[in-house]
């Protein structure tokens, strides 16, 4: 009997979860038959089962709801607001009762007759504004065939597979040491790949679609809006992103909190929205996507935004810092104040949020699982919160380092950069025994891992490697280690309390050879190493100043091209993203062009045929002209902080660089405009170059190169030119002779005094064009 009840409870819970989104969608579209049917099925199932189990109250409730819905199905009644609310209230009560059954408790005492009475036609229900329809919830949830497994069992399987991997590694080492047969190697290879496959599959079993987390959001937003008298349309995207089921549980509360905040504080009342020229209905956009080994969850509202100034005032009021320091805060840092405990911009405390005990908890919860919360907001335009969380709790990409011969691991997420202590851009100083590293003009506290651990390092301080670690609060410090070894994905397990008590370690893991490695906790290291964090962050900005301006990294948009290439475009040139039908792309006037609304833009980024369906494109803007660039998908926003390896030839791709650990081609927007928009894009204030207009070679061959180098080309007109290009032996007026590049048609120079350039010496030409440009002081 108990088993049957457990099955009943499980079935009901599953249906309730699947129903969460359906109900709200049904309310928005009461005529939608399929949704009505699935709600009807639910109450019907509950009714049938409780008759069998003797749960009289459940039965009465589900019976009443079934009757009312049957009427709607038969067309005898319309699904109006009061009815929907009454049905929802009953479904909620059923959910509570099922939870009580599951916990083995008595039903909460109470009377259900009010709920049942509310179902009657014409009954007074609470006035509930309609939540807008959901996007992305269009299809009815059909559950794939599943079975229930205990997480312990999965964990056991997982650890057995880990054992297998270790055993395989051990075997691999033995095989390498002794000469073996080719056939043995082949068999071993096969075994290896099977084990790898199995590990993947087992890891997947712990993964769950984030939809499970999102499915309850429409209902929550609906209830909130009803309570607050607001209108909010929630738009959910990316429900098929998968992440570790434990992780889903860990982000449930923070996500809920952020959404409550967005609805309560972010989105204004309909009247206020109209006043500020917005649509009455606020839009809450929730999306999830995977980027590398992180999941990004974006919560974006178009509400009133966060008032950074008010936050600062409150922070000063709360004594967090003085006025002078407050003035030094950047916009971003001002916004980040919402994560400080006890600060809230809400004028009054509401039942929903605003007690100022929220965002600091959100941040600490997310950070506990190795994630980051970012906030971006514009006053009057809205707020965007981004949660970045790792894919799983257990597998952490880490860097292995060694000190005094012992290996340790550092989580990759904390590492900002790695520099050599004796590098050009780095100086190490000692002030009263404390280490200060100056890395490209930025002063950061420096601690030696050997000192923290009390180990003796044989390598002198100068020859060690500095790892710059960024803590979640934004604090930075440099840790010197003996040697860097490898990037590894480590399966991390918690360490024993006696080990954790040191505060230095986040867990233990096993290296490939089966020996244990300790994983450091970056903030613990800082603490034990005596790095003073908050004071340091504000002071370091002084040293940052102009010096860091030079090394400032470029923000880029990382995307996948239509040909699958990983590329990056400088964020500044991307105006927006459009999705257009492939049929809007036509070859016209010598190149591909795309029609976007009223405009026809030149199109780049199309490797071959466009194909069917929709094409997404970036609209690039150079201030005067627009250009389309087709792509497959946006991967991430990133910064280029590694060196760019420049392409040999100018072209669509100007170079390649490591972005987020993988190479990406940097698209040269200038080249794109130069080639696709051509002459028309040249604005005023450019350098002017005179080319003989009667020389066809100059006009046809040379002109594009000169234009690509940033010049505006003129012919034999009466206009001062910054530069003149002429064939050797032709006439040039005296006052322009100084800035003339002479071209010759023979490859060999005629003598030492001959400063002319061979007309096909492209590199020489470009060099001359460049130096002419800088020489004129523009």
Partner 1 sequence: MSELLLVVTIAGERVALRSAAVESVVELDALIPVPRAAPHVAGLSALRSRVLTVIDCMRALELGVTDCSDGIREAVVVELDGHHYALLVDLVEDVVEAMSEPSPVRAAMRPGWERISEGMVETETGPLLVVDVAGLIGGAEAKAA
What are the residues binding partner 1 (CB under 8 A)?
Answer: 159, 162-163, 166, 406, 452-455, 493-499, 501-502, 504-505, 508-510, 514-518, 528
Q: Which is nearer to partner 1, 169 or 256 (CB)?
A: 169
Q: Which is nearer to partner 1, 184 or 501 (CB)?
A: 501
The total number of residues written for the chain in this structure: 778
Q: Which is nearer to partner 1, 455 or 459 (CB)?
A: 455
State the burial class of residue 690 (Cβ atoms within 10 Å of its Cβ: 0-12, 13-18, 19+).
buried
Least distance between partner 1 and beta carbon 160 (Å):
8
Beta bridge partners of 283: 233
Instruction: Return the structure tokens found at 643.
Output: 């060196």
In whole angstroms, give the CA distance from residue 30 to residue 82: 12
Q: Which is nearer to partner 1, 508 or 681 (CB)?
A: 508
Least distance between partner 1 and beta carbon 408 (Å):
9
Instruction: Return the structure tokens found at 80.
Output: 């109006």
In whole angstroms, give the CA distance from residue 631 to residue 561: 4
Q: Which is nearer to partner 1, 493 or 744 (CB)?
A: 493
3-state secondary structure 158-200: HHHHHHHHHHHHHHHHHHHHCCCCHHHHHHHHHHHHHHHHHHH
Least distance between partner 1 and beta carbon 371 (Å):
24
For the four alpha carbons of 244, 247, 253 and 258, in that order, the dihedral sign comes to negative
Angle at 604 between CA 602 and CA 609, to 5 degrees: 105
- Outline where DSSP puts E strands in 456-537: 465-470, 476-481, 483-491, 505-510, 516-520
Least distance between partner 1 and beta carbon 158 (Å):
10
Least distance between partner 1 and beta carbon 405 (Å):
10
Q: Which is nearer to partner 1, 23 or 453 (CB)?
A: 453
Least distance between partner 1 and beta carbon 71 (Å):
55
**Torsion angle of C-alpha atoms 410, 415, 418, 424, degrees rounded to 10:** -140
Q: Which is nearer to partner 1, 128 or 455 (CB)?
A: 455
Q: Which is nearer to partner 1, 162 or 699 (CB)?
A: 162
Compute the radius of gyration of the chain from its Cα atoms: 33
Q: Which is nearer to partner 1, 100 or 172 (CB)?
A: 172
Contact (Cβ atoms closer than 8 angstroms) between residue 383 and residue 376:
yes
Least distance between partner 1 and beta carbon 507 (Å):
9
In whole angstroms, give the CA distance from residue 124 to residue 118: 7
Least distance between partner 1 and beta carbon 493 (Å):
6
Least distance between partner 1 and beta carbon 198 (Å):
15
Least Cα distance to 68 among 41, 87, 42, 50 occurs for: 87
Least distance between partner 1 and beta carbon 456 (Å):
11
Q: Which is nearer to partner 1, 513 or 579 (CB)?
A: 513
**Contacts for 372 with CB less than 8 Å, ≥ 6 apart:** 366, 387, 388, 413, 472
- Outline where DSSP puts E strands in 308-441: 372-378, 382-390, 395-403, 406-411, 415-420, 426-431, 434-439
Q: Which is nearer to partner 1, 356 or 507 (CB)?
A: 507
Least distance between partner 1 and beta carbon 506 (Å):
13
In whole angstroms, give the CA distance from residue 64 to residue 90: 9
């Amino acid at each position: 009997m108990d088993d049957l009840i457990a099955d009943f409870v499980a079935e009901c819970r599953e249906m309730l979860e699947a129903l969460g989104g359906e109900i709200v969608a049904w309310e928005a579209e009461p005529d939608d038959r399929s949704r009505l049917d699935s709600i009807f099925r639910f109450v019907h199932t509950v009714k049938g089962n409780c008759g069998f189990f003797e749960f009289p109250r459940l039965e009465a409730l589900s019976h009443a709801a079934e009757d009312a819905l049957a009427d709607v199905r038969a067309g005898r009644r319309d699904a109006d607001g009061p009815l929907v609310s009454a049905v929802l209230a009953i479904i909620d009560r059923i959910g509570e009762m099922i939870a009580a059954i599951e916990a083995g408790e008595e039903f909460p005492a109470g009377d259900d007759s009010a709920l049942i009475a509310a179902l009657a036609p014409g009954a007074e229900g609470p006035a509930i504004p309609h939540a807008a329809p959901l996007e992305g919830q269009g299809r009815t949830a059909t559950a794939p065939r599943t079975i229930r497994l205990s997480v312990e069992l999965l964990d056991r399987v997982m650890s057995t597979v880990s054992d297998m991997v270790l055993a395989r590694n051990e075997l691999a080492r033995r095989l390498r040491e002794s000469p073996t047969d080719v056939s043995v190697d082949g068999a071993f290879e096969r075994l290896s790949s099977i084990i790898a496959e199995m590990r993947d599959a087992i890891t997947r079993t712990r993964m769950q679609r984030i939809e499970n987390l999102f499915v309850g959001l429409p209902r929550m937003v609906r209830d909130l809006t009803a309570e607050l008298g607001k209108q909010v349309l929630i738009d959910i995207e990316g429900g098929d992103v998968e992440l570790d089921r434990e992780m889903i549980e860990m982000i449930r509360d923070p996500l809920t909190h952020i959404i409550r905040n967005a609805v309560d504080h972010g989105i204004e009342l309909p009247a206020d929205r109209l006043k500020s020229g917005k649509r009455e209905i606020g839009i809450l956009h929730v999306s999830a996507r995977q980027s590398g080994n992180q999941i990004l969850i974006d919560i974006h509202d178009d509400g009133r935004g966060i008032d950074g100034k008010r936050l600062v005032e409150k922070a000063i009021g709360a004594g967090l810092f003085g006025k002078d320091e407050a003035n030094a805060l950047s916009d971003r840092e001002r916004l980040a104040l919402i994560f400080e405990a006890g600060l809230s911009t809400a004028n009054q405390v509401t039942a929903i949020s605003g007690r100022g005990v929220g965002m600091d908890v959100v941040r600490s919860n997310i950070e506990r699982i190795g994630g980051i919360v970012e906030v971006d907001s514009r006053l009057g335009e809205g707020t965007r919160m981004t949660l970045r969380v790792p894919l799983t709790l257990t597998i952490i990409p880490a860097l292995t380092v060694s000190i005094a011969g012992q290996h340790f691991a550092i989580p990759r997420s904390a590492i900002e950069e790695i520099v050599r202590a004796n590098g050009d851009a780095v100086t190490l100083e000692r002030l009263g025994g404390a280490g200060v590293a100056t890395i490209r003009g930025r002063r950061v506290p420096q601690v030696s891992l050997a000192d923290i651990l009390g180990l003796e390092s044989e390598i002198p301080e100068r020859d060690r490697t500095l790892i710059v670690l960024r803590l979640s609060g934004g604090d930075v410090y440099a840790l010197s280690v003996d040697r860097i070894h490898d990037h590894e994905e480590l399966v991390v397990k918690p360490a024993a309390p006696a080990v954790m008590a040191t505060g230095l370690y986040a867990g233990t893991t096993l290296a490939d050879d089966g020996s244990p490695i300790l994983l450091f906790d970056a903030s613990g290291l800082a603490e034990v190493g005596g790095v003073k964090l908050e004071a340091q962050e504000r002071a370091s900005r002084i040293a940052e100043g102009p010096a860091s301006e030079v090394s400032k990294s470029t923000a880029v948009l990382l995307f996948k091209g239509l040909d699958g290439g990983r590329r990056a475009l400088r964020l500044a040139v991307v105006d927006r993203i459009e999705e257009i039908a492939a049929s809007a792309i036509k070859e016209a006037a010598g190149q591909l062009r795309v029609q976007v609304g009223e405009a026809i833009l030149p199109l780049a980024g199309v490797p071959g045929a466009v194909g069917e369906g929709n094409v997404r494109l970036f609209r690039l803007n150079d201030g005067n002209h627009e250009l389309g660039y087709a792509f497959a998908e946006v991967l991430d926003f990133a910064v280029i902080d590694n060196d760019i390896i420049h392409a040999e030839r100018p072209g669509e791709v100007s170079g390649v660089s490591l972005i987020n650990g993988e190479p990406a081609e940097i698209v040269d927007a200038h080249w794109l405009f130069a080639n696709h928009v051509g002459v028309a894009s040249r604005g005023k204030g450019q350098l002017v170059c005179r080319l003989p207009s009667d020389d066809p070679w100059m006009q046809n061959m040379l002109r594009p190169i000169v234009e690509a180098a940033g010049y505006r080309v003129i012919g034999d007109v009466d206009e001062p030119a910054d530069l003149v290009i002429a064939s050797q032996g032709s006439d040039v007026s005296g006052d322009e002779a100084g800035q003339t590049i002479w071209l010759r048609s023979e490859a060999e120079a005629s003598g030492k005094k001959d400063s002319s350039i061979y007309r096909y010496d492209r590199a020489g030409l470009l060099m001359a064009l460049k130096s002419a440009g800088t020489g004129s002081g523009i």
